[in-house]
Amino acid sequence: MKTYSLRPTAKGIIIALTGSLLTSMPSVAQQNSNSADKQAQEKAEVITVTGSRIARTELTATSPVYTVNELQLATDQVVSVEDILRKLPQAAAGANSTGATVGDSLGASTIDLRGLGQNRTLVLVNGSRVVPFSFRNAVDVNAIPAGLIKRVEVLTGGAAAVYGADAVAGVVNFILDDQYEGFETTAGLEYTDGGGEVYNLDVTMGAGFDDGRGNVTAYVGYSKREALLAGDRDFTRGTATNVAGNGGNFTDVASGNSFAFNNAGDLVDEAQFDDIAPERFLLQPMERLSGNVFFNYDLVEDTLQMYGRAMITQVRVTGAGSTGQTPVSVSETISISQDSPFLTDAVSDLLTFDENGIAQVAVQKGLGLGLQETRTVRNTFQFQLGFRGDITDFIGWDIYGQYGRTDGTAKVYNNAIRQDFQGLANTRNIFGPTDFSDLSSPIIHSNRERIQSVINLTVSGDSADFFELPAGPIGFAIGYEYRDEQGTQTPGTALSSGTAYGLGGISLIDAEFDTKEIYGEILVPLLSDMPFIKELSVEAAYRNSDYSNVDSATTDKFGISWAVNDQLRFRATQQTAIRAPNLGEFAGPEVGLSLALFDPESASFIPRLGGRFDGDPCLDGRGDAAQCARLNAAAPGTEFDTSAALYTFGGNDTIQPEESETTSIGVVYTPDVAEGLDITLDYYDIEITDAVSQIQPIAALTSCYIDDPFEGNPLCGAVLRDPATGLISQTLVNDFNLASLTQSGFDVGVRLQLGTLGDSFENVTFSYQGNIVDEQSRQNNATVAALDCKGTFGSSCTGDFASILQADYRHRATVDFEVSDIAVQLGWRYIGDVVLAGPSNDVDIDAQSYLDVSATYRFADAYEVTFGIDNLLDEEPPLPESGANFFGTVSDYDTIGRTIGVTFRFRP
């Protein structure tokens, strides 16, 4: 028995998923699905189904899996994994190329299944974990070589009993071609009006050796994405960001006289501001170089195999970072001496000097350094070495060790080292445009290293060596996994000490934990070949996880699969999952930022941080008067400078694992009366308790003073007031096991292969994949009512502030056909209408549709050209009245516009 497929392999998974019709991915098929199913069954030996470690012969599984196959990847002209994710109905935006997310992403792209949070989605490559880049356990999928992906499987719902912690919302498994034979090169270009061009070139080669006992596959790829600026899109015009001009605005404190210098150096009466919004990044420029090697070799033919991989990627991204892009400026009161050589008579006449010849002047002045940029260089390495073989004819083993490391350095450009501004005033002219470029040099934002080490041993097979039940042998898998997680982050001295302009919002982290896990699965065939029961089986899984930093935890799974006949199959699972606290949650120190960065009324406001603070209800009249008085708030109308208050956030060393329970019930229908028709319908229900959550100031203030203004409301304690002034002094946004998240809905898949229509259209196929959310809610803590999140947008319902759209319906539908040597696909992506999450729901966004088209021409056997257009009608993103997180819109929508791509592929 050759059992080299104990882990999910490319060959095993595609046979399993094709045969069981667990997917409904559009494709240009050569035959109908029923005949494909029969052929797959004939070829099947021992395979591994995604979501299980049991090698099995039947082509069924209890957990629904959605697959993007190789043909669809080529049709979509995938350059980066982000190109795949934005078209999945089950996936929210996550962190992406727009950078409209938290500064911790530093240009990364992440996966967020169901919108439950990027930290609740487990990412695998060929069945094993991918090293995260962040302390929140998110994986930068830019590090995965898109050109080597054969298929992507998305298993939604908990899978912790099989794969361990973090698989709460689901698992995304990228299957890379690790046994390629031949040579292939691909070159591509994506173009969008105004900038944002993407270029890519990759080469894949592989060969067998030693009479087929071994194989080596190598891949090298390069891609580059140019910047796209906000000024190149019409929808950004209403989102001005005005900053003090480089000439400076001045107010004499004693008299109130105000004057300014324009950028030409002329003295004027009106304050001067520059709108820098058009120069902000709409799409962050990126450059990526990737090299990968895979090998396998039969040390003892058909009995013992050695295998491994080396994956190395360097990504260079220029974006906003935690300091934002707003140009650095000064806004403070300085002392001006009457005998300063820089004073002109016109300026002196506007100032009031005391008996010591000193005037106090409030200054707002840009330093003329341009927009800030955070440039990140991130290197990702992952090495794996494993051995697998047979114990008996029906039992095999697989052991591997894996080491992964992501290290990155981020530098901030066009910032400056802050010196005493009074000293600057004595050495240079601050009146009018002045060259401060000598203060500017690249400033270290942070140095980060993230390490993950894994050792895994699995023994799997079935009972055929010893006994069989009437319906077949019992399948099983047992194993042990050790995983060590380490992370260090060193913030740049200038930003962390405050000697540079702007708070960096970064902290020193040096943390580590490990986990020791034992797991087991069993698959029991109960009945077969009976009336109304072609096959009935049950399966179960269990895992015990012993963590070094938190309490140990157990997870389990129970599933049932019932094939009524060749046309109809039912499946169901009930499973628990956990998400252990990541390094950032249990070891992250408290960090303080100016509350002004989150205040839309402040000149320091950073748009991507919007939706977290909208003012003090006690000052603007929205708050309950009795509650405001009870908590010693300042009187309505009192001026409040948010730059004097702090927004603090950080980890919590008492935090415990999140727990979740997932139920799925599904049906697969392939009727004989409609040859070529496949239908899948799966219901899912996910309930997460003790979810790590943070109370944002807007939520705490709304609950305390508007919605629930009762004495003792615990959320009032999340906002501290200065006892002397009654103004907000600090908001607390630390991590706690506070929240409960629920989501239920349906995944629907339909594939209809019509064959030839008329005289010209061949292999006509219709495919549909949709997600319907039946219920979705978020309860931030037990003292407040759950918030209805179904069909909403806004930060109130987001999983971790990377995605803020919770549409209750999404789909992707395609029609494929061939005309002569040209394969064509027409696609329709749809996002249902949503309202702003919150009590009023008074802001809405209409449903959005995107049409895509592509065509592939194959010629001379070795050549292939694909031409495609995404967002064919150049739909602009919606602009809600409030609740946006990105230039007045929501970053989950297409903010780039029409994209034209062409790819050339050569396979000799």
Is 274 within 8 Å of 396 (Cβ atoms)?
no
pTM here is 0.84
Q: Spell out a b/e string for 137-163, using b for 16 or more CB atoms within 10 Å of the CB, else e.
A: bbbbbbbbbbbbbbbbbbbbbbbbbbb
Is 401 within 8 Å of 286 (Cβ atoms)?
no
Is 892 within 8 Å of 792 (Cβ atoms)?
no
For 729, counting Cβ atoms within 10 Å of its Cβ (0-12 exposed, 13-18 middle, 19+ buried), the class is middle
Which of 491, 354, 356, 327 shows the shortest CA–CA distance to 414? 327
Is 539 within 8 Å of 51 (Cβ atoms)?
no
Domain ranges (residues) in the chain: 10-230+284-322+375-417+440-585+656-694+736-906
Which of 217, 162, 164, 187 shows the shortest CA–CA distance to 50? 162
Is 420 within 8 Å of 430 (Cβ atoms)?
no
Reported as type and span, the H/E element at residue 346 is helix 345-348
Q: What is the pLDDT of residue 736?
A: 81
For the CA atoms of 701, 702, 706, 710, what is the dihedral angle to 10 degrees? -60
User: What stretches in the chain show pLDDT beneath 50?
Assistant: 1-45, 57-59, 422-426
For 119, counting Cβ atoms within 10 Å of its Cβ (0-12 exposed, 13-18 middle, 19+ buried), the class is buried
Q: What is the pLDDT of residue 78?
A: 80
For 290, counting Cβ atoms within 10 Å of its Cβ (0-12 exposed, 13-18 middle, 19+ buried), the class is buried
Q: What is the pLDDT of residue 48?
A: 62
Q: Spell out a b/e string for 824-862, using b for 16 or more CB atoms within 10 Å of the CB, else e.
A: bbebebbbbebbbbbeeeebbbeebebebebbbeeeeee
DSSP 162: H
**Ramachandran angles phi, psi of 117, nearest 5°:** 120, 135
Amino acid at 525: P
Tokens of 721: 């007031």
In tens, the pLDDT along 595-628 reads: 998 898 887 787 667 778 999 999 999 999 999 9
Q: What is the pLDDT of residue 107?
A: 73
Tokens of 69: 């196959």
Is 363 within 8 Å of 330 (Cβ atoms)?
yes
> How many whole angstroms separate alpha carbon 640 and alpha carbon 643?
9
Is 768 within 8 Å of 774 (Cβ atoms)?
no
Measured CA to CA in angstroms, residue 684 lies from 64, 745, 814 at distances of 10, 6, 24
> How many whole angstroms separate alpha carbon 365 and alpha carbon 328?
9
Q: What is the pLDDT of residue 801?
A: 61
Tokens of 532: 């109304």
> How many whole angstroms separate alpha carbon 502 and alpha carbon 575?
47
> How many whole angstroms separate alpha carbon 562 and alpha carbon 347?
88
**Ramachandran angles phi, psi of 573, nearest 5°:** -140, 150
Q: What is the pLDDT of residue 43?
A: 37
> How many whole angstroms separate alpha carbon 832 and alpha carbon 809?
5
Is 524 within 8 Å of 58 (Cβ atoms)?
no
What topology is assigned to 10-230+284-322+375-417+440-585+656-694+736-906 in CATH? Maltoporin; Chain A (2.40.170)
Measured CA to CA in angstroms, residue 116 lies from 120, 714, 772, 781 at distances of 7, 25, 15, 16
Tokens of 439: 């203060």
The residues pairing with 834 across neighbouring beta strands, listed in sequence order, are 845
In tens, the pLDDT along 159-210 reads: 888 888 888 888 999 999 999 999 999 999 999 998 999 999 999 999 999 9
Q: How far apart are the first and last CA of the chain?
A: 35
